Amino acid sequence: MTEVIFGWLGLLGGLLTACGDLLLDLKGRDNKKLGKHGYIESAWETMPAWRFKLSLLLAAAGVPLYFLGISSLAMQMTNTAFALAFWIVMLVGATGGFFIHALLCIYPLLYRKLRNRLSFDETEAVLNVGYDAAKIPFFIQFSLLVFGSSVMVIIAVTMGYLPLPVWAIVFTPLCLMVVGVLFRVIKRDWFCDLPGIIMPSLGLGLLGLMAVVNAGL
């Protein structure tokens, strides 16, 4: 019963985080990548500040919830050592998930405030101090959250640690992210905003749904 409850909470957490991602993703076709590293968005100047603040709140609620779904999945793995490794990897990754989302919400707010007083070059120089400090943990924790979770679930399914059908791996964060990237490559005019960063979040929520399904097998 605990596994099922945690699984449903994990799905809810993924949906909340995806809603938060949606508030960041919708920038419009006229948006341009700016600056040396390309992480500054021209749409930041016109997007209402409440979107970034609400997005941060949704992630603050969603990340702990989707980790419960991940924990439920780990609890159901038949290989105890592998389950513990999966749980530890995802603990680090989920911690990074909120760190990453917080940066994506705070940077636009800082950018808008700084641009009121500084030139673009001066603003970028200030933001790059934080970017240079955060980029390594950002990359490592994002990799664990998306790549690590997906690869380990694929291994668990194919090795029989989770008695889920093989097609379930299509709904892992990495596979859904690849789908989103392909949509943008094939028809960027149609998919300039979506599907974007919501795809890995949906995948993390669906790990909770996998836990619910697996608990019923």
Asked, for residue 114, whether it belongs to a domain, the answer is: no
Q: How confident is the model at residue 190 (pLDDT cuts 50, 70, 90)?
A: low
Q: Average pLDDT of the chain?
A: 89
What's the DSSP call for residue 119? -
Asked, for residue 68, whether it belongs to a domain, the answer is: yes
Q: What are phi and psi of 40, to 5 degrees?
A: -85, 130
- pLDDT tens digits for range 107-146: 999 999 999 888 999 999 999 998 888 889 888 988 999 9
What is the pTM for the complete model shown?
Answer: 0.88
Domain that holds residue 181: 2-30+45-94+142-215
Helices of type H across 116-197: 120-142, 149-158, 173-186
When divided into structural domains, the chain yields a total of 1
pLDDT for 37? 84
Residue 96: burial class (beta carbons within 10 Å; 0-12, 13-18, 19+) = buried
Asked, for residue 9, whether it belongs to a domain, the answer is: yes
Asked, for residue 58, whether it belongs to a domain, the answer is: yes
Under a CB-based contact definition with an 8 Å cutoff, are residues 162 and 214 in contact? Answer: yes
